Amino acid sequence: MRDDVNLVSAVKWAFWCLLMVGLTGCFRNTLPDQFFMLRAANLPGQSAISVDGPLVGLGPVRIPAYLDRPQIVTATSGQEYRLSEDHRWAERLDENIARVSAQNLSAFIPTDRIVMHPWPREPKPDVQVAISVQEMHVDPTGEVRMSALWSLRQGKSDVTNHKFNCHLPASTTDYAQMVEVESQCLIRLNREVAAAIKRLLQTG
């Protein structure tokens, strides 16, 4: 009899364990995914952008393969990365970076004459900008790390190559804060590019 009681108790315990696991999975699956996008700089007077500004060709804008995915990527060590299934980009990351960069350059130069790669044969851009993001993620300490290589060309002149780095504190758990700080790094990159464009056009 005691063995029968023990067997019944074990079955009940297993049933409740399976039930709790199932409920936990159900609750987890009902949590909505969160979607994020990088933002452009919020500048006063953006509506007063000059229509007579230079024609800027932007692109190609490239990202590394580890970032070319819907999930937001964070680093858990120097060699290990985590893909968050619950926190995703609302659009392709390379397209988001290109679109926001166009908005920022338009405001910083200023000009509303931005054409995206590949642009038409005519008219030819006054200056061409290419951006290759090397890394963009939050490291294990909660710091955003962004590095990029970018280049400028005016007409048929030689290409000038540049390197950009940005390290800013963010968060290890708050994805909204992570994306906000990544936006700030992208704004810094675009400011640097815009300043170089203005210097090039002034001397050219």
Distances 101 to 5, 92, 192 between C-alpha atoms, Å: 70, 14, 11
- Reduced to 3 states (helix: H, G, I; strand: E, B; else coil), residue 104 is helix
Residue 162 phi/psi, 5-degree rounding, is: -140, 160
- Rg (C-alpha) for the chain, rounded Å, is 24
Distance CA 155, CA 158 (A): 9
Q: What is the pLDDT of residue 158?
A: 87
> Could you tell me the pLDDT band of residue 5, with boundaries at 50, 70 and 90?
very low
Q: What is the pLDDT of residue 44?
A: 74
How much is the average pLDDT of 97-106?
Answer: 98
How much is the average pLDDT of 82-91?
Answer: 97
pLDDT tens digit sequence for 110-153: 999 999 999 998 999 999 999 999 999 999 999 999 999 999 99
Structure tokens at 146: 């962004």
> Could you tell me the pLDDT band of residue 58, with boundaries at 50, 70 and 90?
very high
Distance CA 63, CA 5 (A): 62
Q: What is the pLDDT of residue 34?
A: 96
Does the pTM surpass 0.85? The reply is no
Q: What is the pLDDT of residue 23?
A: 47
Q: How many residues make up the chain in this entry?
A: 204
Please, what is the average pLDDT of the chain? 88
Residue ranges of E strands in the chain = 34-36, 56-62, 71-75, 81-89, 114-116, 127-138, 143-153, 160-169
> Could you tell me the pLDDT band of residue 203, with boundaries at 50, 70 and 90?
confident
CB–CB of 113/51 below 8 Å? yes
pLDDT tens digit sequence for 15-35: 565 555 454 444 445 668 999
